[in-house]
Amino acid sequence: MTGRLFRTPFSSRILLQGKQSPAQDLNLLLLLVQPQLRFCSAKMSSPTETERCIESLIAVFQRYAGKDGNSSKLNKAEFLTFMNRELAAFTKNQKDPGVLDRMMKKLDINSDGQLDFQEFLNLIGGLAIACHESFLKSAHLQK
């Protein structure tokens, strides 16, 4: 597994060396990219599409987090509100009413009953990977 970016779509491990803990892996990654993150705080005349997407993810997370006073985490009610408003097509197509509870438990790596931004990004990343794979499969079937 050494050198792979994600172990699984819902994994919090970002493997750089394969020997560190998830927190060490993330800290190392942040140290490597931090000098390039000026766009997060600097006012730029025209951010790139990717920079706008990152800013949008942060804004969405902040919009739903903190209703209970902790703006750095989503509690269960905030997570459910986020899912029902922002990913409504996904939640409406679920036949199992317990799927969101199970998703939150699986995403909640540190088992504190809340999702921090990293855990939230695991959801977004997992959904993006699933969509990408679906697009690839669809494109392959059309050939």
CA distance 10 to 25: 16
pTM of the model: 0.68
pLDDT (tens digit per residue) in 25-57: 555 555 655 555 555 555 657 889 999 999 999
**8 Å CB contact between 12 and 121:** no
| 3-class SS string, 5-50 | CECCCCCCCECCCCCCCHHHHHHHHHHHHHHHHHHHCCCCCCCCHH
